[in-house]
């Protein structure tokens, strides 16, 4: 049976170079980075090197990079600390954010009584800049806006510079979940005036369990996890040195190869969409994912022309064929309620049909995509 992995938006295959770096770190650099002896100093030096590498690529300061366990922790930390430490009384977000943001906002509303507002979406599911501006105009309390750069289910992208500029115009803080875009798009944080970003290494061929938060300097957040003085006193806990080394290596390789790999993966995405349209008349692409200008090149979310009864068996049948894909975020894989993102943007008729997210990486081939399209065509005719 052929094996085809088209679920890189959930997590990516780890690069061989990253595995080698991590193995070397585990074998040879096992000192506690907080220890003052040579073993500890060696580990600490490499952690700070990784911090500087990331900061330089993002055009940020090393002190603005805080290592976390991943995107979910970073989102929680930023939102919670902003309410607790900065006096934020109004949170503005959208109903298609990752649940790391949505559930945190809901909890903060219950715990602190903050006001929560949701930006309107356009017909394709992208947050409206005009709606955000209207909400900010009418906001008298200290406000934080949280809108993801690339939607993890449908791939829609916001014009993050424009959103950041509007937030600055109205003196609102701006947080963006950039888990699906860091490692896939260039950043210059001296030009893009966001206050907070989040990233996870496993979305760009690094290890799971490590990521980082970008917190713009001179924003006085306090630690959320208490204990030691790691991460400049901002996040306690012994640093997972091997994961940080893996994160750095994956980050460096992602940007060294960005142009070449983006062109290759974009070609795969376009080929896949063309093949689907030819093989399955009536197929639709959800959100803006069919547009390479308005969505990321790494995924498509496809509404397939199958009945609800047939669609209920689709992922099972694809799995039997060795094909990995998903109906939405992997974090919701056990949910029976369906995608909260698609619920916001699809008609009742299209919600009855199966929608599947296929996401790509440098490791995929056109031959694999041909196999997937043939399997879908066979399933449609069965």
Catalytic residues, by residue number, are 331
Q: What is the DSSP string of 13-65?
A: PPPHHHHHHHHHHHHH--S-TT-SSHHHHHHHHHHHHHHHHHHHHHT--GGGE
Matching residue, tokens 């690069």: 15
Question: Which stretch of DSSP H or E encloses residue 299?
Answer: strand 299-303
The answer to whether 194 and 25 have CB atoms below 8 angstroms apart is no
For residue 199, the cross-strand partners are 212
Question: Which stretch of DSSP H or E encloses residue 325?
Answer: none
C-alpha span between 247 and 244 (Å, rounded): 5
Query: Per the structure block, which two tokens stand in for 375?
Result: 């399997």
The answer to whether 297 and 268 have CB atoms below 8 angstroms apart is no
Can you point out the beta strands (E) in 65-132? 65-68, 90-93, 115-118
Return the closest-CA partner of residue 91 out of 111, 73, 72, 71: 111
Query: Per the structure block, which two tokens stand in for 191?
Result: 């030009």
Q: What is the DSSP string of 143-205?
A: EEEE--SB-TTT-BB--HHHHHHHHHHTT-EEEEE-TTTBTTB---TTTS--SEEEEEGGGTT
C-alpha span between 195 and 168 (Å, rounded): 10
Residues 6+ away with beta carbon under 8 Å from 362: 205, 257, 261, 264, 265
């Amino acid at each position: 049976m052929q094996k085809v992995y088209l679920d890189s938006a959930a997590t990516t295959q780890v690069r061989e170079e990253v595995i080698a770096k991590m193995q070397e770190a585990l074998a040879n650099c096992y000192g506690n980075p907080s220890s003052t002896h040579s073993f500890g100093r060696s580990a600490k030096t490499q952690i700070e090197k990784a911090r500087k590498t990331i900061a330089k690529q993002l055009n940020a300061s090393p002190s603005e990079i805080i290592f976390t366990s991943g995107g979910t922790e970073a989102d929680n930390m930023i939102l919670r600390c902003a309410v607790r430490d900065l006096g934020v009384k109004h949170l503005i977000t959208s109903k298609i954010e990752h649940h790391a943001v949505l559930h945190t906002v809901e909890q903060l509303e219950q715990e602190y009584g903050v006001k929560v507002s949701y930006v309107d979406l356009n017909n394709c599911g992208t947050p409206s800049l005009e709606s955000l501006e209207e909400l900010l105009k009418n906001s008298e309390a200290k406000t934080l806006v949280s809108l993801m750069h690339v939607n993890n289910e449908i791939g829609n992208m916001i014009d993050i510079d424009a959103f950041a500029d509007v937030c600055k115009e109205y003196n609102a803080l701006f947080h963006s979940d950039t888990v699906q875009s860091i490692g896939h798009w260039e950043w210059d944080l001296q030009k893009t005036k966001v206050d907070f970003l989040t990233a996870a290494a496993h979305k760009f061929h690094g290890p799971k369990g490590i990521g980082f938060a970008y917190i713009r300097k001179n924003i006085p957040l306090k630690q959320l996890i208490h204990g030691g003085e790691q991460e400049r006193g901002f996040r306690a806990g012994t640093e997972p040195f091997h994961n940080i080394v893996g994160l750095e290596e994956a980050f460096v390789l992602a940007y060294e190869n960005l142009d070449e790999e983006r062109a290759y993966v974009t070609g795969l995405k376009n080929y896949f969409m063309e093949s689907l349209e030819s093989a399955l008349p009536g197929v639709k692409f959800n959100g803006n994912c069919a547009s390479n200008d308005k969505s990321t090149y790494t995924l498509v979310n496809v509404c397939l022309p199958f009945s609800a009864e047939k669609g209920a068996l689709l992922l099972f049948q694809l799995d039997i064929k060795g094909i990995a894909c998903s109906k939405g975020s992997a974090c919701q894989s056990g949910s029976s309620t369906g995608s909260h993102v698609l619920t916001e943007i699809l008609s009742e008729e299209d919600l009855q049909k199966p929608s599947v997210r296929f996401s790509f990486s440098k490791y995929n081939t056109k031959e694999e995509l041909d196999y997937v399209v043939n399997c879908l065509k066979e399933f449609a005719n069965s």
